Every structure is written in C-alpha cells, then in structure tokens.
Chains A and B, each alone.
Chain A
Amino acid sequence: MTELQAEQAAAVPQPEAGLQRSRYFDVLIALAAFAVLAILPMLTGSKALLDFVIRCSAFGLFATSLNLLVGYTGLVSFGHGMFFGLGAYGFGLIMQRTGVPVPVAFVATLVITTIIAAVIGAICVRLKEIYFAFVTLAFQMLIHSTILSWVSLTGGDQGLRGGIPRPAFFGIDLSNHVHLYIASCALLVIGLLLMRQIAQSPFGYTLRMIRDNANRASFVGIDVWRAKLTIFVLAALFASTGGIIMALFVSGAYPEFAYWTISGEGIFINMLGGVTTFLGPMVGTVLLLILNDTVTRLTEYYGIVLGIVILFFAIGLRKGLMDFVVEWYTQRRNGPVE
C-alpha cells in the first residue's frame, strides 16, 4: 500500500487495540455462552451430545492453554500433554487414596501441577526453539514411562481403575451426568475467561513482545526467562484442569492421557483452528472431535484420513481455519491487501 493510502487508512477511526477494550464485554459473552450450554440438557435428551461437550471442555481447555505458549509466546511445546495427564492422574489418585472432597482434590492437583511445571519449566524455557520442543517432549515421555512403571501407584498400563469416587459437595453430584456436564461447562467458561484475561492483560502483551523479538523485549526491561516460566506454569494449570475434567468424565485415568500423542493432537488442534485468534483452538477442538468421531465410525484407518486433513491445512492452506476466516473477513471489509 502506498504512503497516501496508509495515511487514509490511519485516518479512518479504528477500534482501539486490545489493551483498551473492556473486559466486561468478554464476561458478557462468556455468560451468554454458558447460558446456552446450560439449557442444552433441557432441549435435548441426547447423552451423546452432552458427552461431546464434556470432551470439548477437557480438550478445549488443554488446547487453548497450549495456544498461550505456541501462539502468544512462541514457545512450541511438544510435551504440553504431560500436564493433561498429570491433572487426570493427580486428581484420580487423590480422590481414590484420600477421599477428600472434590474441591480440595481439585485445588491440591493444581498445586502439584504448579510445583512440577515450575521445575520442568525452569529447565526448559531457557532452551532455544527446537530444543525446547524436544526437551518438553522428553519430559512428557519421562512422565509417561514413570506412570507405566510405577505400577503400585498408578496401575501401570492398566491405568487407574475401579472408578474415581465423586462424593457430592455443595449439592453438586458429579456422578450425575447432567451435574457433571454443567460443571464441565462452568470450568470451560471460567477457564477460557481467565485465559482471555491473561492474553489481553499487559502481561499478554509482554508475551507477544517476547514472541516477536525476545532480544528487544529484554532491552525494554523485561525478564524474559521469568515471563516465559510464568506462562509455562499458568498454561500447565489449565491443561491440568482439562485432565481433571477428563478423569471425572471417564472415572479413571489412563497412560494415553499422558502420552505424546495428546501433545501432538494439541498442536494439531491449534493448527486446525488457527493460533492468531483467541478462540481458534476452541474451534479446532470441536472440529477435531467431530472429525475423530466421524472417521472412526467410517474406517479403521483413522491415521490416513487425519494425516491427509493435516496435510491439507499445513501445505494447502498454510494457516488455521480461524486465521483463514479472519483474513477473508478483513479483506472483504477493507478491500484487497497487496
């Protein structure tokens, strides 16, 4: 675009950037979304649909938290799934072995996640791009093989069996399907809202600065290592929450929850939905789960179909669906960009 056009574009009043947009707008959207989700059980008796939403909550929290690392900070973690597994196993074990109320186990799991994520993060975040990806992957595998080998605690490759006790608290009975559904939706909406706040807060902009140009960020006075560690731990907490939802849903925990493929799927979900919008990963989650359910019903060669879809997005579109939509929308509004 020429200088003149640029001046004109700048002269048109544009919505102020994210830093100045009120957070109440997000809260409003979140409440509306929760309301819609909450009346869903009254409209349909379909248990399958509610199950689908619960799974979307678990993976959506996980994938969106991964986007805080990949999309906002430029940290391509290939081991983020370890915190999903950690949440599921941590929560399941605490409930099975101690019998404390659900909220206590929830908080305790998050505390454990914080400690482990801080230790792993402290080692990983100073590594460069590709090394970061593989050291996180190695930690994922370390946790996975610990789960497999520590049979007396984790049940080894059989997983945590015998069900996770879900005693009622504050009138909420998570062994009731609808209660579990509502609780999952609430966790999803609250989780997304908190992550939205992280992304749009000044700290979120610190992350963007690090992603764009970490060297310059350090000359603006930002302690890059500390900021990266902070977001690593925060993202781990939301991934862990996703794992807890999953453990509640299947009433157990299995080594696959901590396997590297969970991380691979998380990355793919982000790719599918797009990393430039906040809700991209959520869209990606829904798409992947639908794809998952349809393809496994039609063919046993799930990998080939999924692989071709990935190739279509990675080589064909070269961006996620939401990225594509946003670009298309802005182009239509502003006319073609050169």
Chain B
Amino acid sequence: MLEIRSLSKSFGGVKATDNVTLDFADGSLTAVIGPNGAGKSTFFNLITGALKPDSGQILLNGVDLAGRTPPEIVRYGIGRAFQVASIFPSLTVHETMLAAVCADQRRASVLHRRFPLAETRDRAEHAMELLGLVSKRNRVAATLSHGDQKLLDIALALVLDPKVLLLDEPTAGMGTEERWRMIDKVRELWEKQKITVVFIEHDMDIVFKIAPEIVVLCYGRILATGTPEAIRRNEAVIEAYLGSEHHAGAAI
C-alpha cells in the first residue's frame, strides 16, 4: 500500500504540489490526469526522490520514503519510467536488462562473474518477454524505434521487480494506433504482474476506458478522485476541463 500524506512542494512561492493526500491500494491501476502544469510530473518526481518534498510523508507499506535518494527509493520497490524514454543508448536491450538486474541484486562489483547467474538471466528474459522485446535483444538501444525505446524504459523499471510502477505518459509522442497498443501492454502488465501501477495520461479516451481509478490534479491540488463514472459527473472536473481543454471536454 502506497500512502501519500499531505505532500507539498513549492518552487519560489509557486505550489507545484499542495497538500496532497492519496492512497494507492496494492494491485490498483490508477490514472493521474490534469491540465498542463497541474503538477503531475512534480508529483511523480517527489515520490521517486528526484525532488525532495518540503513536507509530508510517502509511506510504502508503512515505511516513510520522503526525502530519500532515488536509488534508495528504487530499492524499496518504487520503479519509474520517463516521459521521454530514458535509456542507455550504447547498450543492447539484453545488456541493459542484465546490467540492471545485476545492480539490483548487488552483484555488480568488480569481483562478480561476467557470466550471469541463471536467476539473473531469467529475470532479464522475463522482463523482455513481458514487453515483447525478445526479438530485439541484440539491438543497441539507440537504434530502436521510439515506441521500442519507451518499452525498454518500462522494461528497465519492471526488471527490478517493483511493488509500485510509476509511468510518466507511457504514450507520449505516439500515433493513435501505437497509443492503444502501448496502453494495452500496460494493462496486460498490470494484470499479469499484480503490482500497483500509476500512470499519467493526456488522452481522455484511454483514461476512461482503461483506468479503474482516476486522480485529477489541478494547480498542485487534488481536484477529484474516483471511478471513471464519478469523475465524468464531477462538477469541478467538468469546470476545470471545459474551461481549458476543448478535447477533454468533448471526451466527457
């Protein structure tokens, strides 16, 4: 269970995250939506340790992670993928996976065997299978297509066996068809792995069709939380979206 308790962060007086309190139940799938500048990415950055919160708690199974460094938080079990695929351009897909698993298993000292253990290889193999990257295992990451790089980024988070997976706009920069393929993949991952998945998404069609739970952020605050039906009917949400974004309004 991931519990966020009155989390706040401001940049020079602007409150990017303002007293956010939220629960993510184990095995839930939640979409975080909100207009541009709503503080969605800041929210993710706070949870993963990229930014230090001004105040508040981030409790993962009762352990407070607020203010810890990214490597520590990853080791507690919160993995993330980035809006712009963040990968290791010169490594092949397979090398990326193996190296990440070795680091995670603390088998990455100079004295460790080059020939990875069966367990290491299995985990790498499993992650590549889940994201459909097996056929591209020997491709250098920089030469992968945009979509495959996003998949590799997610695989890199998943291979660490996280309890919670945060995906910052998994469909960013993709065409309509590719978006649906990606989001189906995300849903499939969630179903197979039984982990907590939180993702940021702009496309309302996708959000309302896929996510059982939705969190709406606006100006760093929580505007509403609930099921797609509840969010659709929520007055404040309609107001915020109709006021700013035509596309979203049409979707609702």
Q: Is there contact, CB below 8 Å, between A203 and B90?
A: no
A334 CB–B CB distance under 8 Å: no
On chain A, the number of residues with a Cβ less than 8 Å from chain B's Cβ atoms is: 42
Q: Is there contact, CB below 8 Å, between B138 and A220?
A: no
Q: Is there contact, CB below 8 Å, between B91 and A205?
A: yes
Q: Is there contact, CB below 8 Å, between A221 and B137?
A: no
Bitwise, A171-207 to B at CB < 8 A (1) or not (0) is 0000000000000000000000000011011111110
Q: Is there contact, CB below 8 Å, between A203 and B108?
A: yes
A3 / chain B contacts, CB cutoff of 8 Å? 145
Q: Is there contact, CB below 8 Å, between A23 and B114?
A: yes
Q: Is there contact, CB below 8 Å, between B156 and A216?
A: yes
Evaluate whether A221 and B89 lie within 8 angstroms (CB atoms) in the complex, with A10-B136, A10-B139, A201-B111 already known.
Answer: no
Bitwise, A202-234 to B at CB < 8 A (1) or not (0) is 111110110111011111111110000010001
A23 / chain B contacts, CB cutoff of 8 Å? 114-115
How many interface contacts (CB-CB < 8 Å) are there between A and B?
132
Q: Is there contact, CB below 8 Å, between B110 and A218?
A: no
B113 / chain A contacts, CB cutoff of 8 Å? 201
Chosen A-B contacts, 27 in total, with CB atoms closer than 8 Å, are A9-B139, A10-B138, A17-B138, A19-B95, A20-B114, A23-B115, A201-B109, A201-B110, A201-B114, A202-B98, A202-B103, A202-B107, A202-B114, A203-B109, A204-B110, A205-B99, A208-B88, A208-B99, A209-B100, A211-B90, A213-B89, A216-B156, A219-B48, A219-B74, A219-B157, A220-B74, A220-B100
A11 / chain B contacts, CB cutoff of 8 Å? 135
Give CA–CA (A223, B70) in the complex, Å: 9
Give CA–CA (A23, B110) in the complex, Å: 13
B59 CB–A CB distance under 8 Å: no
Give CA–CA (A171, B102) in the complex, Å: 43
A residues 224-283 near B (Cβ < 8 Å) are: 224, 230, 234
Using a CB–CB cutoff of 8 Å, the interface residues on chain B facing chain A are: 48, 50, 69-71, 74-75, 79-80, 82, 86-92, 94-96, 98-100, 102-104, 107-116, 135-139, 143, 145, 156-157, 160
A residues 8-27 near B (Cβ < 8 Å) are: 9-11, 14, 16-23
Which of B75, B91, B137, B160 has the most C-beta atoms of chain A within 10 angstroms of its own C-beta? B91
By secondary structure, the A interface counts as helix
Q: Is there contact, CB below 8 Å, between B91 and A197?
A: no
A6 CB–B CB distance under 8 Å: yes
Q: Is there contact, CB below 8 Å, between B88 and A218?
A: no
Give CA–CA (A230, B250) in the complex, Å: 56
Q: Is there contact, CB below 8 Å, between B114 and A200?
A: yes
A7 CB–B CB distance under 8 Å: yes
